[in-house]
A and B are shown apart, each in its own frame.
Chain A
Amino acid sequence: GQNIDQPTEMTATEGAIVQINCTYQTSGFNGLFWYQQHAGEAPTFLSYNVLDGLEEKGRFSSFLSRSKGYSYLLLKELQMKDSASYLCAVMDSNYQLIWGAGTKLIIKP
């Protein structure tokens, strides 16, 4: 079967750095996505990785290792507005997105 695993909840301090991990097992691989979702809102796109390595975009970076079936989202200089759920999703061989359950990130002052 297809499976995406990520921690249920994480807590971090404002101004600090946090890394949210995601491991996956899917039928084929056409890229891995990270989305941010604030409570009561739809997901918004953060990053896309299809090749191994690190993609940096401002305070957010995403890493992929296809051989390990592993990705992480790194958030730097955390701000209170970063409190949200972070969803990892993998696009399988049929170009369908397989979603993780999401990681709720709580930022404390």
Chain B
Amino acid sequence: GAVVSQHPSWVICKSGTSVKIECRSLDFQATTMFWYRQFPKQSLMLMATSNEGSKATYEQGVEKDKFLINHASLTLSTLTVTSAHPEDSSFYICSARSILAGEVYEQYFGPGTRLTVT
């Protein structure tokens, strides 16, 4: 099956610094990637959708200047949390979808990145 990786798997940073999370599709080309955030005991919250080569579409309430998303290639998307605050501490999960592969109906999830801001 399709594999999506995320790096790092966990990160601790100081308040005010920026953190970059990478999401890679290892064995397929991801035309669309999704970034989710999940707080403890809550469901997934979609933050943004990004298509390769174009600007990300952010969900209502998500600050695009704080959560910078880049999808420069068909196998890599990055999420940068700028000027991180303790309330940004969460579990960030990316997923990838490939229409080229014909499997338009399934999203493949990365293992997630646990961010702790101190």
Docked CA distance A100–B97 (Å): 20
Residues of A within 8 A of B (CB): 30-31, 33, 40-45, 48, 50, 87, 91, 95-97, 99-102
Interface size class of B (residues with CB under 8 A): 10 to 19
Docked CA distance A91–B39 (Å): 22
When the two chains form the complex, which single residue of B34, B105, B106, B111 contacts A41, counting CB atoms closer than 8 Å? B111
Nearest-CB residue, chain A, relative to B107: A97
| Chain B hits for A101, CB < 8 A | 42-43
Nearest-CB residue, chain B, relative to A97: B107
Residues of B within 8 A of A (CB): 34, 42-44, 46, 49, 91, 93, 97, 104-112, 114
A45 touching B106, Cβ below 8 Å:
yes
27 A-B pairs (CB sep. < 8 Å): A30-B105, A33-B106, A40-B112, A41-B112, A42-B93, A42-B109, A42-B110, A42-B111, A42-B112, A43-B44, A43-B93, A44-B109, A45-B108, A45-B109, A48-B105, A48-B106, A87-B43, A87-B44, A91-B105, A95-B97, A96-B46, A97-B34, A97-B46, A99-B43, A99-B46, A100-B43, A102-B43
B114 touching A99, Cβ below 8 Å:
no
Smallest Cβ distance from A93 to chain B, in angstroms? Answer: 13
